[in-house]
């Protein structure tokens, strides 16, 4: 499980995927999100700009990313 510590109030989904190393670039993040391959708190998420806050959990290709303060 990868953990991302927030520096601000939130981090956007595409940025979180890049920060965790789950994708190589913002373009890659855009495509995997649009294809419905990413879940936020168990729900498929299609918005790259979805704001993630402390306590949110992202899953993608068997990887889990937890957002913490």
Q: Give the rounded percent of residues in the chain with a pLDDT score beyond 90.
A: 99
> What is the predicted pLDDT for the residue at 26?
93
8-state DSSP, 8: S
Residues 26-45: pLDDT tens digits?
999 999 999 999 999 999 99
Residue 34: the pLDDT is 97
Name 21's Cβ contacts closer than 8 Å, sequence gap at least 6: 2
Please give the average per-residue pLDDT across 45-61, as a whole number.
97
Record the tokens describing residue 26, joined without a space. Answer: 């913002």
* pLDDT at residue 41, rounded to an integer: 98
pLDDT given at position 65: 97
């Amino acid at each position: 499980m990868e953990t991302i510590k927030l520096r601000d109030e939130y981090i956007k989904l595409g940025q979180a995927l890049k920060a965790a190393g789950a994708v190589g670039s913002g373009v890659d993040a855009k495509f995997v999100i649009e294809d419905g391959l990413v879940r936020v708190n168990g729900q498929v998420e299609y918005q790259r700009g979805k704001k993630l806050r402390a306590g949110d959990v992202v899953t993608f290709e068997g990887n889990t990313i937890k957002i913490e303060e």
